Structure 1
Amino acid sequence: MNHSVQDIQLKDFSNQRWLILSHGFNMDGRASSQTITDKMPYLLEAGIQPTVFSAITGIKDERFPHKQYLAWGPAAFRFDFRHWIANQYGRGFIYKLLTRTVSILLAPLIGLEKLILGYSSQWSWAMPAFIHGWRLISAGKIDLVYSTGGAWSAHLAGLWLKKITGVKWIAEIHDPLVIRSNPADDGFGILRNRDARFRHSLEKSICQFADDVWWFTNGALHYAKVRNPNLNTPGNARGFIVLPGAEPPGGLKINKEHRYGDKLHLSHSGSLAKDRSISTILHALHSLFQKYPEARQQIRINVYGAPLDSLTKQALEQYQYHDVLIDHGRLEKDPVTGISGRERVVQELQKSDVLILLHGNDEWCAEYIPSKFYEYLWAGRPIWGITHRNPQLDQMLLDRGSYLSHQSDKIGIDMALERIWLDWQQNALSAPKGDPIAVKQAVATILNTI
């Protein structure tokens, strides 16, 4: 589907005053931030007058009222304080000294909070967001509340505001609130974790009290409907799908022309974990090197944005591929040029031959598309997607001429890497097809629906 920005017309919402609740607003490189910050130019274009409430973790936006509030709980305070200090002083000596001191001082209170409530750390940000939001709504200054996350504290604050004031409330669910454990699990099982039970209850309340709510994948909406059959019935929330898309960082121009070098560079950007590990690539490389020994000197794996996970570290030691894998770490904003970390990463990705998209191997992959997929499209390079139980993502990759493997198919992964290697040798890597998925289409979908 072509989502050309020029072809999209936005409905006129002139003089509509929106309160946007987003815990991680304007946090460089955070998916939960980019999903809302990328929408702001188009919300403004539609005539909306936004007021944003966020934590202190991001950079304050000067285009509209942006209020940053400290969370009231000790665990959330520690989290927010760390990011605030990093924004102010970087991650050097001052950062380490202050964050360690605060962690030590707050440790007893954090332990007590965990013992009594057992919720995820950012829950308490809902309290200042609610109090200040209630004041604005009571003063007649807000027409609609838009909660987005990321951290579910924004939705909790939105729920409280809806119940107390009756204000129109729309909610954007990034990741599933209810985490299923296997294909047969619809999310109705016994939840022993208090945070999981609360998220289950919160999803039920959103589907009942929100005016509109949307998810980012077909799978997420499907399972939400299974658990909440009242969704899309009179008197309850209207649920739908929005493809979030992404904006080109720094106005980056897509360039599908590529200059082949003397090495095949495969690059990955984003978080890593045991369920989303570069070790998958290293195991496939080992098989390839046994078949094509010369590839050992010609293939490099570039990793941006996250520490290496434990399985990757084990594979590096096992195969001694320290010269093959280049760990670039997290790219921060360049103080000299002013280029953001997000822009720097995409610039590096444009130089790569193939981009690695690791989906994971947990059941929730059926309801989740990595936000990096939408950014990868702007790099103009072929993507190698290794996916798990998500036909929607598979089709989106195939439509764009990507290489596709499934996480559980080791032989298929080995074959895909061999195909990439042979295509590169012939200067014939798969050419990316179609246009990137722009954010304006997401905003149009939301405005046309609500």
Structure 2
Amino acid sequence: MQSKKRWLILSHGFNMDGRAASQTITDKIPYLLAADIQPIVFSAITGIKDQRFPHRQFLAWGPAAFRFDFRHWVANQYGRGFLYKLLTRTVSILLAPFIGLEKLCLGYSSQWSWAMPAFIHGLRLIRAGQIDVVYSTGGAWSAHLAGLWLKKVTGIQWIVEVHDPLVIRKNPSDEGLSKPKNRDARFRQYLERQIIRFADFAWWFTDGALHYAKVRNTNLNTPAGAHGFMVLPGAEPPGSLSKDQVHQYSEHLNLCHFGSLAKDRSLATILNAMDALIKKYPDARNRVRVHAYGAPLDVLTMGAIEHYSFEDILIAHGRLEKDPVSGKSGRERVVEKMQSADVLILLHGNDEWCAEYIPSKFYEYLWANRPIWGITHRNPQLDQMLSERGAYLSHEGDVVGIAMALERIWLDWEQKQLASPLGQPIGVEQAVTTILNTIQ
């Protein structure tokens, strides 16, 4: 393995600002380069083209993926103004019947067809003797599908980074062994089996994900399957991070959440606890603010705002894009907001897959060096990491416990004694070191 330095990296969303599946691989690049790895990256057209090494961007061949990629390409080129709305709506109308036909015939997630150009162009490079290792990472499972095809056709060494579990279990007793009704879920189950059968090495980002993959695939870590292991992805210190920043208490207790929201990961959980806090401490009504960055509000959050009349308490800032005036990326602007927060909210969700998942935002939160309030679900690994760092810790569904945690935060803030973060952030160098030491 020492001489196998030419890596073809398959990553559909490479260099997409603010995307977790992108940051997972792009943060590794400097350490791979330092280890004398010579990367060639294949991605969709959705991200910014990298100039440090060969980076080829391909349009997907299917209509649904084309529409998805085209939207992001236009946003990168022209912003999200009038031209964006005109072009994307026109393309959506023109592609609608073909997308319907694709969904009817296959039923796969939209990015599946990107595997086709990635495979064709990858095959040419491998047959020309320009590639030693294929490294698929996702995100979109099309990268793994292209890697599988390349492995089967050429026999090249294939290493796989499973960003999110491919098989989504429904409850604690479900091990993911039954045949799903959904066609995309059936294919992901098949793809997981193929990865473990044909890949040389595969790694997952949590103990839970590795455990359940092994339960479903008993050939994992045997001569008949891939060598599987766990890697904490970590995160690099984002640009605009101020190492010497001293936190300033203001007239408001600012609780800040960053990232996507949904019914299973809703700020309604916080607002329900807010109602209990205000009943006990009426002054909190005018002094606590909840800030939401990065995504539209979910239905449950909007319902809670209306129910409690909390329009002034929850402030939705939306997605922070690149600032054309300062030149700061969305990621740089986000970390500045993180560092100015009193407490960072980490919502884990309430689905069963939380047992196999740690939000990538957690690793960025650690760099911000602010107290974290984690509301977790069935994940001892995440609970331990939060506890070791002195975080406020609650569990999803524990209404009393969540209310008590918010009360503790309120009282600590009033005394200007919010919990000080402990320990060190988890960087990316440790992840690259683990990967290279394992596969060599």
**Fold equivalence (TM over 0.5):** yes
Map residues 204-283 of structure 1 onto 2, 5 A cutoff: 204-250=193-239, 252-255=241-244, 257-283=246-272
Q: Secondary structure at the match of 1:408?
A: coil
Are 1:389 and 2:389 matched, yes or no? no
1:52 to 35, 41, 47: 41
- Which residue matches 1:338? 327
Q: Secondary structure at the match of 2:8?
A: strand
| Whole-Å separation in 2 of the counterparts to 1:235 and 1:47 | 31
The number of residues matched between the two structures is 439
- Which residue matches 1:8? none
- Which residue matches 2:167? 178
1:141 to 111, 124, 130: 130
Q: Which runs of 5+ in 2 are unaligned?
A: none
Return the offset for 1:190. 3.1
| Whole-Å separation in 2 of the counterparts to 1:108 and 1:373 | 40
Q: Secondary structure at the match of 2:239?
A: helix
| Whole-Å separation in 1 of the counterparts to 2:382 and 2:235 | 16
- Which residue matches 1:3? none
- Which residue matches 2:7? 18
Return the offset for 1:255. 4.7
Are 1:93 and 2:82 matched, yes or no? yes
Return the offset for 1:15. 7.0
Q: Secondary structure at the match of 1:249?
A: coil
- Which residue matches 2:400? 411
- Which residue matches 2:302? 313
Q: Which amino acid aligns with 1:112?
A: L
**Using CA pairs below 8 Å that are at least 6 residues apart, which structure has the higher relative contact order?**
1
Contact 2:111/2:140, CA 8 A, preserved across alignment: yes
Contact 1:174/1:216, CA 8 A, preserved across alignment: yes
Q: Deviations over 1:129-184 (max 9, x none)?
A: 00000000000000000000000000000000000000100000011100000000
1:428 to 404, 417, 420: 417
1:126 to 106, 110, 115: 115
Return the offset for 1:253. 4.0
Return the offset for 1:257. 3.6
- Which residue matches 1:38? 27
- Which residue matches 1:84? 73
Q: Which amino acid aligns with 1:359?
A: H
Return the offset for 1:249. 1.2
Contact 1:305/1:329, CA 8 A, preserved across alignment: yes
| Whole-Å separation in 1 of the counterparts to 2:383 and 2:157 | 36
| Whole-Å separation in 2 of the counterparts to 1:90 and 1:150 | 24
Are 1:358 and 2:347 matched, yes or no? yes
| Whole-Å separation in 2 of the counterparts to 1:46 and 1:157 | 25
Contact 2:240/2:333, CA 8 A, preserved across alignment: no
Q: Which amino acid aligns with 1:39?
A: K
Contact 1:20/1:145, CA 8 A, preserved across alignment: yes
Return the offset for 1:376. 0.3
Contact 1:14/1:48, CA 8 A, preserved across alignment: no
Return the offset for 1:262. 1.2
Q: Secondary structure at the match of 2:159?
A: strand
Return the offset for 1:14. 6.9
| Whole-Å separation in 1 of the counterparts to 2:129 and 2:103 | 37
Contact 1:53/1:68, CA 8 A, preserved across alignment: yes
Contact 1:39/1:443, CA 8 A, preserved across alignment: yes
- Which residue matches 2:433? 444
2:367 to 367, 375, 378: 378
| Whole-Å separation in 2 of the counterparts to 1:223 and 1:96 | 43
Relative distance call for 1:233 and 1:339 in structure 2 (3 A) is same
Q: Deviations over 1:275-321 (max 9, x none)?
A: 00011101100110011000111101111100000100111111111
| Whole-Å separation in 2 of the counterparts to 1:246 and 1:273 | 24
Return the offset for 1:336. 1.7
Deviant stretches of 4+, over 2 Å? 12-15, 251-257
How large is the RMSD of aligned CA atoms in angstroms? 1.1
Q: Comparing 189-198 with 62-71, which one deviates more in the overlay? A: 189-198
| Whole-Å separation in 2 of the counterparts to 1:220 and 1:369 | 10
Return the offset for 1:259. 1.7
Return the offset for 1:252. 2.3
2:280 to 291, 300, 310: 291
Q: Which amino acid aligns with 1:334?
A: D
| Whole-Å separation in 2 of the counterparts to 1:193 and 1:175 | 18
Return the offset for 1:235. 3.6
Map residues 187-206 of structure 1 onto 2, 5 A cutoff: 187-206=176-195
Contact 1:14/1:47, CA 8 A, preserved across alignment: no
Q: Which amino acid aligns with 2:236?
A: E
| Whole-Å separation in 2 of the counterparts to 1:320 and 1:279 | 13
| Whole-Å separation in 2 of the counterparts to 1:147 and 1:254 | 34
Q: Which runs of 5+ in 1 are unaligned?
A: 1-11
- Which residue matches 1:111? 100
The TM-score, its normalising length taken from structure 1, stands at 0.96
Return the offset for 1:115. 0.5
Return the offset for 1:256. 7.0
Identity %: 75
Q: Which amino acid aligns with 1:260?
A: Y
| Whole-Å separation in 1 of the counterparts to 2:336 and 2:227 | 39
Relative distance call for 1:242 and 1:251 in structure 2 (3 A) is farther
- Which residue matches 1:4? none
Contact 1:70/1:77, CA 8 A, preserved across alignment: yes
Are 1:400 and 2:374 matched, yes or no? no
